[in-house]
Structure 1
Amino acid sequence: MSEEAAVLDLDKKLNQYFAGRVVRKDLTKLIKEGANVPVYVLEYLLGMYCATDDEESIREGIERVKKILADNFVRPDEAEKIKSKIRELGQYSIIDKVTVKLNPKLDVYEAEFSNLGLKGVPIPSNFVKEYDKLLVGGIWSMVKIDYFYDEEVRNINPFSVSNLKPIQLPNMDINEIFEGRKHFTKDEWIDVLIRSVGMEPTQLEERVKWHLLLRLVPLVENNYNMCELGPRGTGKSHVYKEISPNSILVSGGQTTVANLFYNMSTRKIGLVGLWDCVAFDEVAGIKFKDKDGIQIMKDYMASGSFARGKEEKNASASMVFVGNINQSVDVLLKTSHLFAPFPDEMANDTAFFDRMHYYLPGWEIPKMRPEFFTDKYGFIVDYVAEFFREMRKRSFSDAIDRYFKLGNNLNQRDTIAVRKTVSGLVKLIYPNGEYVKEDIEEILKYALEGRRRVKEQLKKIGGMEFYDIMFSYIDKETLLEEYVSVPEQGGGKLIPEGIGKPGHVYVVGQSDSGMIGVYKLENQVVSGTGKFEKSGVGSHRGAKESLDTAFRYFAANCKSISNSISTKTKDYLMHISDLQGIGLTGELAVAELIGLCSGALDKPVLESTVVIGNMTVGGTISKVEELANVLQVCVDAGAKKVLIPALSAVDFQTVPSDLLVKVQPIFYADPIDAVFKALGVN
């Protein structure tokens, strides 16, 4: 079947199984540009009058919707004109957002109109019973208002509601979704969801579709913390602003504890208690006026509760952080970490970032262009929003357990994060719970990747505490363990491919902070009197001593390597670069000895090679601590070969198999053996 035919077939299916619940998305764009009404109101009207695939009926429907909006939609600046119209005609229909409260003194329900500006308007109780959302947050409705002024009876509102019809879904039958889902394949259903948020799936790569689905997870999963950083213009905040009446976008980032969590003076809960999802636009600007703001936020992100005053409050709102990355991802990965755009008070707070369940790679989503917006059928936005809201009451976090076990590198926080992501994606793609092992495996891999991206950055910020990043899952049937990696770790390598210059050598070692870093040693040999000059070392004692050890060993043993090396008629200049900016290491002696010999012999080190291990001035080689972590850093940096002390061979059983296949180990027994092997001399 051609792509065109498949699209038409999907449109037919939607109109067949979800009649009146779908709308052609280009119609929304047509009218939205001229009317300042929420998308969900507009699409409800379009769903009533244009939910068909007959062109003639659609044209008539559009005219009708335009007329309804022109005649009945209340613009705030025309409120007085509409009130006058109601008075003069005695009765008039309007479209506005209606909220209802009970007035216990008079024992009547009273309506408040958002744009019309009327309050205390009596409304019959049968509407309130039928549409209980009127009492919680209000509903956009088509309302018939009567006007009757009785001179005899004072203090009675002359306005009253005689009829009310919601133009948002007042309630929904979730079984309709469960039943309808059975008629669609997985790929068709994903396309339907993506069209429902206004995008055209046939123009998007498979991976981008998954990213767009993940943006919806905070709307279906309670207390889900997600972060998306990427270039401008990729639609990061669109979903949270336009698509759901249940989420709020905090623009500008400035907020208070009272606004977000709990106001002590009014005793009212903040945004996290009123909305399903609170999204922060532009993370770089997040600022709390209160000192304890970030602490309370961390508490809430970890447990879904926070303490204010004497009591503890619970809420279920998800937290989403979106922002822009101004540099390329390669540059950020080399010089800093992917959480760098966050404000300074958060940027080095590992406890805050550890609470993120997923890091969505915004740089993989293309900038929005006209062809990415769909003109095919999708669910009415309000219908989707109600479906999402209903799914928050369910959980699929145990979906993994039937088929898989998580690997031992995942701690409790990692496990919670992965389970939440899996649960959210299952709710979206398999809401009726009908899935097979392969379906869960696909979701699980994607969930592990996003949490590992968080962990990779924590490793860069917090060092050894976060070194267990080898995320994996185990198939319960076959007991095979699969490892999941992060795509961007492969790009922008610190160690470039190709042969380097003579005297240049890469080394990986542990810094004072406990983090494992990548360093470049550049040696130059010039005419002189046998001096050894170092730059880039600063006041690091360990690095200085290690480099001096190398030069002393070199001076004493260079003739064993080659008679052509002279230490009396040459000066040796050395510069060290800390490629990740984490502080120098004292494990440089073997690498520097190789660098000195490489420079003196004018012979480059083998391509993409890293040296690990250290030695004493007498040439005794020391064993490498934490070999698996050190090798992981070598692989992440782009090494293809690693020179390893023979002593460390016994520790290879601690190294995961997927790491071993990525790098070629070259064992050396003593310093001179290391030099020969590094320079490729047999």
Structure 2
Amino acid sequence: MNTNPDDLFSLFEPAAPTLTPLVNGVDLAALEAKVERVFGSVSIDKRRLPASKLQSRGIPGYVAEWVLESKVPGRGPLSAEDAAKVLDWAARVVPKPDEGNLIRNRLLNGEAVRILTPVQVDVVLSGKKAERVAKLPMIGEERAQIAEHLLEAHPALLQQGMWGVAQLLYIRDQGIVITEFQPMQATVSLDRWREARHEFRLEEWRALLLLTMGYNPAAYSPEAQLLVLARLLPLVQKNVHLMELAPKGTGKSYIYENISPLVRLISGGNVSPSVLFVNNQTNQPGILARYAVVVLDEVQTLKFDNPAEIVGGLKGYLANGKISRGGKHEMASDCGFVLLANITLDANQRPANEPIVVRELPVFLQETAFLDRIKGMIPGWEVPKLSPASFAEQSGLKADYFSDILLHLRQELTTDAYCARHINLGPDAYQRNQESVRALASGYMKLLFPHGEVSPADFQKYCVEPAIKLRQGVWDQLFNLDAEYRKYGRYITVERS
């Protein structure tokens, strides 16, 4: 057989490299290696969380990830052996809903019992009696005692409460007592966070944020990614209040359920003024005073006690950050407030009630004076519905670490000042529009450019324009519902400097 020398030579040529397809400009495999190199021990393979089945036991994602890294640290899919180890630990330490009496019986028999649970401590001053009462919702216990040194070591137990492993004893004449408490802990440094940002291109950083939230960035267009990231704005920006209207299945509440113990999600049940603002009988501050973000999910299904008082109190709070009830107990708060609601779409996947997309909200939440105080509306109908491909399949950052970073960014005021200098809607603009766009743009900048290095073009494209889109959603409702707002013009625009 005759052989062409050129053919023989080609046998020794190196094979052409296989090109990894880019997803929205990102090589996800290379990104995973970079995340693990830059962030090390605060990164985690997001595939391990759903495989652990811990969330099926009522454990939020930020706690479940802490458990995984504590008990079976590692990378790659969770092995059957590690999954069994985690589930065995959970069987011993994580109570099921029907195991409260079993645990009380073990305590009565003199056993020390360790459980994973949130712990919230109230100080009750009633007449001559004063006591510290610990609530352990995982076993339905409302009146446990707690050692004083634990409150000194963990003051957050007296505020919004903490998740951790509590050791319980039954002591005659005292009842159930928490004798030891191991909280979740994450050490954060904003300087280190800013340094890390320099290691990533913008597209990579945006993908990392999505992965850390638990989403697969490949499942979302760049525009949809910015809408999903908007769900984080109330965490990085004080007093940012949002509304997201969407069909079922877009994952509106997913991040709020799994991001931080300082986010309180209310889904179902009664919402009363004493829950939101202050209990005038006990003087106990409500959740708007004790959490960083309060989320009302599926507001159509919630039962509101005294809607007029709730809307009146919310209008005051959303406008000036002051909580009061009946003129008593006035206090300041920087808590963000988020409303989530399902709406009906038409055949074109647009809101069926367009242009008045708030028509399916409870009537008292459609009041324009209330809507005006909402800084932005996320158009959830533009976000793809969740599917198996929507969830993260590689390394992101641990949720407890990430949420602490976000909450630390709230104190970063130079970004707010930058946005105030560079965003001007013009001399005739409606003031709340200007305030809202500046606040939302500042939030986007903290998320995407925490190192403060942003070109004018990128600031406009990734901070200002998304902020205008969110506020325009609110403005569209005001403009269509009330002629008073029409003197300011139909569209929100920014003056070019």
TM-score (structure 2 length as normaliser): 0.82
Structure 2 CA distance for partners of 1:144 and 1:289, relative to 1, 3 Å: closer
Deviation at 1:45, TM superposition (A): 1.3
In the alignment of these two chains, the number of paired residues is 466
- In 2, Cα distance between the equivalents of 1:226 and 1:159? 40
1-side partners of 2:444 and 2:209: how far apart? 12
The answer to whether structure 1 residue 136 and structure 2 residue 159 are counterparts is: yes
Deviation at 1:211, TM superposition (A): 0.4
Equivalent residue in structure 1 for 2:443, among 424, 427, 431: 424
Partner residue in 2 for 1:449: 469
Q: Which residue of 2 aligns with 1:302?
A: 319
Instruction: Say if 2:243 and 2:374, in contact at 8 Å, map to a contact too.
Output: yes
- Supply the distance in 1 between the matched residues of 2:145 and 2:270 (Cα, whole angstroms): 36
1:115 is aligned to 2:138: yes
Higher-Rg structure is 1
For 1:325, the aligned partner's letter is I
Whichever residue aligns with residue 63 of structure 2, its letter is V
Tell me, in whole angstroms, the C-alpha distance in 2 between the residues paired with 1:135 and 1:331.
45
> Is 2:205 the partner of 1:183?
no
What's the Cα RMSD here?
3.4
What is residue 410 of structure 2 aligned with on the other side? Answer: 392
Residues 508-541 of structure 1, C-alpha deviations (whole Å, 9 max, x = no match): xxxxxxxxxxxxxxxxxxxxxxxxxxxxxxxxxx
Give CA-to-partner distance per residue, 1:441-488, whole Å, 9 cap, x none: 121011112222322332222226324234322343xxxxxxxxxxxx
- Within 5 Å, which residues of 2 pair with 1:420-569? 420-442=439-461, 443-463=463-483, 465-467=485-487, 468-476=489-497
Deviation string, structure 1 residues 300-323 (Cα, Å, up to 9, x no partner): 211112442344332222221222
Letter in 2 for 1:40: Y
**Mapping of residues 594-605 of structure 1, within 5 Å:** none
**In 1, are the aligned partners of 2:239 and 2:336 still within 8 Å (CA)?**
yes
Match of 1:20, SS? Answer: helix
Counterpart residue number, 1:324: 342
Instruction: Report if aligned partners of 1:15, 1:51 keep a CA contact under 8 Å in 2.
Output: no
Q: Give the AA of the match of 1:134.
A: L
Residue in 2 that maps onto 1:371? 389
Deviations 1:56-84 (A, max 9, x none): x9665434322211222233432343455
Q: How far apart in 2 are the matches of 1:89 and 1:224?
A: 49
Match of 1:165?
182
Q: Distance in 2 between matches of 1:158 and 1:474?
A: 63
Matched, 1:62 2:66: no
From 395, 401, 404, the equivalent of 1:383 is 401
* 2:67 pairs with one of 45, 49, 67: 45
Question: Is the CA contact (8 Å cut-off) linking 1:253 and 1:282 kept in structure 2?
Answer: no
Report what 2:232 is aligned to.
Answer: 216
In the alignment, residue 473 of structure 1 is paired with which amino acid?
Answer: V
Aligned equivalent of 2:308 = 291
- Is the 1:20–1:51 Cα contact (8 Å) retained in structure 2? no
2:256 is equivalent to residue 233 of structure 1: no
Select between 177-186 and 87-96 the one with higher mean Cα deviation: 87-96
Structure 1 counterpart of 2:98: 77
The one-letter amino acid paired with 2:322 is S
* 2:120–2:162 Cα contact (<8 Å) kept: yes
1:361 to 365, 379, 389: 379
Q: Which residue of 1 aligns with 2:12?
A: none
Aligned CA distance change for structure 1 residues 3 and 130 (closer, same or farther; 3 Å): farther
How far apart are residue 380 of structure 1 and its match? 1.8
Range with bigger deviation, 464-473 or 442-451:
464-473
Q: What is the DSSP-based 3-state SS (H/G/I as helix, E as strand, rest coil) of the residue aligned with 1:40? A: helix
Cα deviation per residue 1:532-554 (whole Å; 9 max; x = unaligned)?
Answer: xxxxxxxxxxxxxxxxxxxxxxx
SS of the residue 2:27 aligns to: helix
Mapped partners of 1:247, 1:19: distance in 2: 26
How far does the alpha carbon of each residue in 1:391-436 deviate from its partner, in whole angstroms, 9 at most, with x for none?
2223322223554533345221111100110111122222333333
**Preserved contact between residue 344 and residue 352 of structure 2 (Cα < 8 Å):** no
Q: Partner residue of 1:195? A: 211
1:87-107 CA deviation, whole Å, 9 max, x = no partner? 768555432333456799999
The whole-number CA distance in structure 2 between the counterparts of 1:231 and 1:82 is: 41
The 1-side partners of 2:151 and 2:417 are apart by 38
Q: Please give the alpha-carbon distance, in whole angstroms, between the structure 2 residues aligned to 1:123 and 1:260.
A: 29
Which position in structure 1 is the counterpart of 2:9? none
AA paired with 2:399?
V
Q: 1:134 to 1:313 in 2, by over 3 A?
A: closer
Whole-Å Cα distance in 1 between the matches of residues 146 and 352 of structure 2?
Answer: 61
Q: Does 2:32 correspond to 1:11?
A: yes
1:36 maps to what in 2? 58
Following superposition, the deviation at residue 254 of structure 1 comes to 5.1
Which region of structure 1 is more displaced relative to structure 2, 232-241 or 202-211? 232-241
Give 1:231 deviation, angstroms.
1.7
Quick one: distance in 1 between partners of 2:86 and 2:458? 41
Is this contact kept in 2: 1:19–1:51, CA < 8 A? Answer: no
What is the CA–CA distance in structure 1 between the aligned matches of 2:307 and 2:133, rounded to whole Å?
37
What are the Cα deviations for residues 550-602 of structure 1, in whole angstroms up to 9, with x where unaligned? xxxxxxxxxxxxxxxxxxxxxxxxxxxxxxxxxxxxxxxxxxxxxxxxxxxxx
Alignment of 1:654-669 (within 5 A): none
Is the 1:284–1:323 Cα contact (8 Å) retained in structure 2?
A: yes
- Contact 1:280–1:320 (CA under 8 A) maintained in structure 2: yes
In the TM superposition, residue 212 of structure 1 has moved relative to its aligned partner by: 0.4
Structure 1 residues 35, 269: CA separation in 2 closer, same or farther (over 3 Å shift)? closer
| Mapped partners of 2:112, 2:296: distance in 1 | 43
Q: Write the mapping of 1:620-631 to structure 2, written as runs, cut at 5 A.
A: none
Superposition deviation, residue 29 in structure 1: 0.9
Q: C-alpha separation between the residues in 1 aligned to 2:350 and 2:122?
A: 55
Contact preservation (8 Å) 1:86, 1:145: yes
* Alignment-mate amino acid for residue 441 of structure 1: Q
Alignment pair present for 1:96 and 2:120: no
Separation of aligned partners in 2, 1:290 and 1:439: 43
The superposition leaves residues 248-270 of structure 1 with CA deviations (integer Å, 9 ceiling, x where unpaired) of 23334853222222222222222
Runs of 5+ unmatched residues, structure 1: 477-682
Q: Following the alignment from structure 1 to structure 2, what is the Cα–Cα distance between the partners of residues 47 and 331?
A: 42
1:405 counterpart = 2:424: yes
Q: Distance in 2 between matches of 1:24 and 1:330?
A: 34
CA distance in 1, matches of 2:370, 2:131: 48
Q: Residue deviations 1:482-506, cap 9 Å, x none?
A: xxxxxxxxxxxxxxxxxxxxxxxxx
Q: Kindly tell me: are residues 15 and 52 of structure 1, through their superposed partners in 2, closer, same or farther at Cα, counting changes over 3 Å? A: farther
Q: Does residue 262 in structure 1 map to residue 278 in structure 2?
A: yes
User: Which of structures 1 and 2 has the larger relative contact order (alpha carbons within 8 angstroms, sep 6+)?
Assistant: 2
The answer as to 2:41 corresponding to 1:24 is: no
The answer for unaligned runs of 5 or more in structure 2 is 1-18
SS in 1 for 2:440: helix
The answer as to whether partners of 2:136 and 2:142 remain within 8 angstroms in 1 is: yes
- The letter of the residue matching 1:81 is L
* Distance verdict in 2 for CA 1:176–1:89, change over 3 Å: farther
Confirm or deny: 8 A CA contact 1:305 1:315 kept in the other structure.
Answer: yes
**Contact 1:262–1:268 under 8 Å retained in 2:** yes
